Structures are given as structure tokens and as C-alpha cells.
């Protein structure tokens, strides 16, 4: 059974780009809450952050102010919580975190990202020996340049960035990579939904996201001991985001897409 990692503080306001709003995760939880067990994460430790970033980078994020710092360490902690959960349970996990992370490099940040949530989580599991080999698939519309930089030259982690694919072959590109993927211990997914038909990319339907989830879930069961976790990256149309994430989660756990109607909220 899929689990969702979420903290109320992901709905906090902090200084960032105008489109990176609390409404994004509110929409997601409006669709997922009640369907899945929710696990509340803790902030990442400095030790965790320093495996992916330089001390100077941490200082720079601290200078952005308390609100940004607290949000950023809690998002990194959410990704780490998701990675640990799936490592133990071998069930898929979705981390509905803000801020996103895939543009954050070792010593730089931008694009609404402060810490590289995916890199912090996988480097912790690689460090303590929970996993020896990992794969990251990034299907956000934008290049996961921070993740690419951090894992550059690290043979323990295979990285596929789908953003370079032509719109028409986006899904085929993921399928091809997954076919060729060797056995790994865990699959991390940088799940950005800004390629959605009604988002900036104007390309993928909810049914496409369901299909992508299904491909990744099947591959994880076949090649990664069922260990797969997804961490929210982009997706900026709150009205559509929750439905797209729900469709993706249904696919990830190998279930049909039966209903993408948002649940009634009190
Ligand atoms: Zn993006």
C-alpha cells in the first residue's frame, strides 16, 4: 500500500517565486488524504544536508531567513523519510513536499529549490549502507541540473533526466530507460508535474501520469525490490496538480485509474 509523506508546515508561506504556493500541496492532499496513510517527517539534520551540499551553501540558505530555512530542511527531511520508508517496507511512497529540490546543486540554488531533497535522501541511504546502488528518474519539465551535478561521477547512482526528450517521446523515453535499467536497490523519482496539459508544458494528461506511475512501479517491483519513492518537484496549476498526482500514485501502486475527482474537503 502506498504511503504519503506530508507535514502541515509544507503549507507554510515563505519568500519564493510567486507560482510556488501552498495551494500546490493543498491540492495534492485534497486528493490523497483519506486514500492513503500519511506519515509525518522530521527535518533533515545538518549532517544529512552536508552530504549533498557545501557548508557555505547551508550558510547561504540560512541567510534567506528562518521561514525559508525551516521549510527547506523539512522538505529534505520529507524526502529522506520517504526513502527510508520504502527501503524498509518495499512499498511505494509519495512525498508531497515544498520547496522542490532538483535545481539545487552542491553550492548553488535557484528555481524555487534550496536543498536537493532527492540527493540528500539517497546520499543518506548510500552512506549508512541501506542501499548500494540507486537510480533517479526526473520527469519534471525542467532539467534536474542540481541532481545531475551532485551525482556527476558517482557510479552508485544512475540518473535519467527526461526533460531533454521531445514532447512526443516523453513516455517512450522513460520506458526505454526502465527497460535498460540494471538491478538497483532503490528508485527515486523527481516527480514534477509541469508537463501537464494544463500546466506550462501543455503535454501530458492525467492518464499519461498514471501510465508513467505504472511503468515505474512495475520496474521497481522487478528491478529494485519494490523500493520506489517519489518526491514532488514542479507543477504550478494547483487545480490540476492534485488530480495528476493522484493518477500517478494509482499507477505507482499498480492500480487502475478509477476516479480523479477531488474529494470533498470540510
Ligand atoms: Zn519544473
β-bridge mates for residue 93, sequence order: 3, 229
Q: Determine contact, residues 143/111, Cβ cutoff 8 Å.
A: no
Distance (Å, rounded) from C-alpha 237 to C-alpha 259?
19
pLDDT value of residue 137:
97
Q: How far apart are the CA of 226 and the centre of ligand 1, in A? A: 27
Edge-to-edge strands, sheet with 228-232 = 37-39, 3-5, 93-95, 228-232, 186-191, 134-138, 157-161
Per-residue model confidence as pLDDT tens digits over 100-129? 999 999 999 999 999 999 999 999 999 999
If we measure between CA atoms, which residue out of 236, 235, 171, 179 comes closest to residue 209? 171
245: CA distance to ligand 1 center in Å? 15
CA 159 – ligand 1 centroid, Å = 17
Tell me: pLDDT of 260 over 60. no
DSSP element (H, E) containing 191: strand 186-191
Report the b/e string of 4-37 with b at 16+ CB within 10 A.
bbbbebbeeebebeeebbebbbbbbbbbbeeebe
Residue 234 neighbours by CB under 8 Å, 6+ apart: 100, 112, 140, 141, 142, 192, 193, 194
Taking the CA atoms of the chain, what radius of gyration do you get in angstroms? 16
Distance 34 CA to ligand 1 centre (A): 28
Ligand 1 center to 235 CA (angstroms): 7
The per-residue pLDDT for range 170-220, each reduced to its tens digit, is 888 899 999 999 999 999 999 999 999 999 998 999 999 999 999 999 999
CATH of the domain spanning 3-252:
3.40.800.20
Protein residues with C-beta less than 5 angstroms from the ion ligand 1 = 140-142, 192, 194, 234
Ligand 1 centre to CA of 181 (Å) is: 24
Amino acid at each position: 500500500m502506498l504511503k504519503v509523506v506530508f507535514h502541515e508546515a509544507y503549507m507554510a508561506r515563505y519568500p519564493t517565486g510567486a507560482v510556488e504556493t501552498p495551494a500546490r500541496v493543498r491540492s495534492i492532499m485534497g486528493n490523497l488524504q483519506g486514500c492513503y496513510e500519511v506519515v509525518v517527517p522530521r527535518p533533515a539534520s545538518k549532517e544529512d544536508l552536508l552530504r549533498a551540499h557545501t557548508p557555505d551553501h547551508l550558510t547561504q540558505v540560512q541567510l534567506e531567513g528562518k521561514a525559508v530555512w525551516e521549510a527547506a530542511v523539512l522538505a529534505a527531511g520529507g524526502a529522506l523519510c520517504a526513502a527510508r520508508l520504502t527501503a524498509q517496507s518495499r512499498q511505494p511512497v509519495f512525498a508531497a513536499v515544498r520547496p522542490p529540490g532538483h535545481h539545487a546543486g552542491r553550492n548553488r540554488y535557484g528555481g524555487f529549490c534550496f536543498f536537493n531533497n532527492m540527493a540528500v535522501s539517497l546520499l543518506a541511504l548510500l552512506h549508512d549502507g541501506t542501499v548500494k546502488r540507486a537510480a533517479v528518474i526526473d520527469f519534471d519539465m525542467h532539467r534536474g541540473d542540481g541532481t545531475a551535478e551532485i551525482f556527476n561521477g558517482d557510479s552508485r547512482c544512475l540518473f535519467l533526466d527526461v526533460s531533454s526528450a521531445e514532447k512526443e517521446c516523453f513516455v517512450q523515453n522513460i520506458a526505454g530507460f526502465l527497460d535498460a535499467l540494471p538491478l538497483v536497490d532503490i528508485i527515486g523519482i523527481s516527480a514534477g508535474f509541469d508537463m501537464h496539459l494544463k500546466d506550462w508544458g501543455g503535454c501530458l494528461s492525467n492518464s499519461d501520469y498514471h501510465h508513467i506511475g505504472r511503468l515505474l512501479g512495475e520496474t521497481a517491483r522487478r528491478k529494485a525490490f519494490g523500493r520506489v519513492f517519489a518526491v514532488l518537484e514542479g507543477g504550478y496549476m494547483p487545480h490540476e496538480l492534485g488530480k495528476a498526482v493522484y493518477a500517478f500514485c494509482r499507477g505507482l501502486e499498480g492500480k487502475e485509474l478509477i476516479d480523479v475527482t477531488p474529494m470533498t474537503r470540510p
